[in-house]
Structure 1
């Protein structure tokens, strides 16, 4: 039979757990409110304004890259992690093309199939493949891709008009031709020298808010301590304060326009 002391301890632990749960839910709710407001603000920017701001951000990023002094490791050129912009995000195309011209190795986020929600890796993409416009995880960054992706899934993956589907696997479900996996090799976080990270919202303290899947919050701690990380966003996405949990990663500098 439980003693009164044991019962009190159990009740106290239950109350503490309930309080923590309520606090966590309150943070989630506040994040949702900030996220919706920031997304709406971003979407209200005129297309011409987004284009001009993206160009200005890209120009500043190129200057940051040139003055960074980063050097590659083990005979490799410096490795630069970028992202494929979704609609309304800062478009890095001008910066990416410039980085290819300077000889950098460019890696893009790729969502991992059959893994925890929001799990991603970085895959290297050559300049020719990037310009070809048919890299699956650039065409649709939200869709998982990799050796475990089924034919059915890739049939459902959207592609823009005119894009070829050379990345469709063989007729054996669950397979991806080895040539495609080696065409876009996974690059470990330890090899990344410079990383550009998107945001839905950010504040002056460097707190960042994404889409709520925790993708970058899980990935960024895997980078080397000397990896240079920059956030990018439109100036209109800055908020007074981003609600944050203990596991949320902050970014020291944001490049905005």
Structure 2
């Protein structure tokens, strides 16, 4: 079978002018929207088997990167890796995550912050047992906020993976989560994170990245240490000629693809 061809979607970077900043900004947003729709459609056209194979190849590359790196933890902690729970059609990191747990790394996942600016997130530590149990609320549905201010109604509506050992039990006091569950998934400050695996909707050869439009990673990445390692992951079909960029958009030094 011939290898899949990369989808090249042309796009241009629009710079703001002093005379029409509103129009210039809207032009960038429009271009981003066009690229986002085209690449999401191309990604969805991948057959499930192809996505699975490509995800496995990407995970193997990430494991090799980890072995070759000189990442060391801080303050006596094992190295801390920030990963993500894949949404449908995204690169699935499960193989890499399991391997990282086996090597003894501390793994943290993005968790959307309730009652904060749209797209604001923190990173919470998840043990191997809790990850394998399949009942971590912000892994079950990464799009929903979770934390001390999340309401009981919101938690009750959170779905659970098939085969999970138990359903996540919400607090009986509305406006809070069970203290033991908040403690079980402690927030890890950005200063303690040594490597971040960053998902993308689209990317280009210069490392420019396009997400879903909330600016979640663009706001979070500047909080990391300067020596924190960043690796983007995406399918080869998600590469474009040039990602339209704003000044606040953060480039990723390296993308791992398949």
Confirm or deny a common fold (TM above 0.5): yes
Map Cα deviations across residues 28-76 of structure 1 (whole Å, 9 max, x no partner): 0000000000000000001110000000000000000111111111110
Unaligned runs of 5+ in 2: 1-16
- Tell me the secondary structure at the aligned position of residue 158 of structure 1: coil
Q: Tell me, in whole angstroms, the C-alpha distance in 1 between the residues paired with 2:254 and 2:146.
A: 30
The equivalent residue for 1:183 is 184
The equivalent residue for 2:50 is 49
The equivalent residue for 1:9 is none
The equivalent residue for 1:218 is 219
Q: Tell me, in whole angstroms, the C-alpha distance in 2 between the residues paired with 1:78 and 1:65.
A: 10
The equivalent residue for 2:143 is 142
Map Cα deviations across residues 148-175 of structure 1 (whole Å, 9 max, x no partner): 0000111122223333554332221112
The equivalent residue for 1:170 is 171
> Any residues of structure 2 matched to 1:100-249 within 5 Å, and which?
100-163=101-164, 166-249=167-250
Map Cα deviations across residues 155-206 of structure 1 (whole Å, 9 max, x no partner): 1222233335543322211121110011000000000001100000000110
- Tell me the secondary structure at the aligned position of residue 219 of structure 1: helix
- Tell me the secondary structure at the aligned position of residue 161 of structure 1: coil
| CA distance 1:167–1:251, change in 2 (3 Å) | same
If the length of structure 1 is used for normalisation, what is the TM-score? 0.92
Aligned residues: 242
Q: Cα RMSD between the aligned structures? A: 1.1
| CA distance 1:181–1:18, change in 2 (3 Å) | farther
- Tell me the secondary structure at the aligned position of residue 241 of structure 1: coil
Q: Tell me, in whole angstroms, the C-alpha distance in 2 between the residues paired with 1:33 and 1:164.
A: 42
Report the structure number with the largest CA radius of gyration: 1
| Larger RCO (CA within 8 A; separation ≥ 6) | 2
Unaligned runs of 5+ in 1: 1-15
The equivalent residue for 1:4 is none
The equivalent residue for 1:13 is none
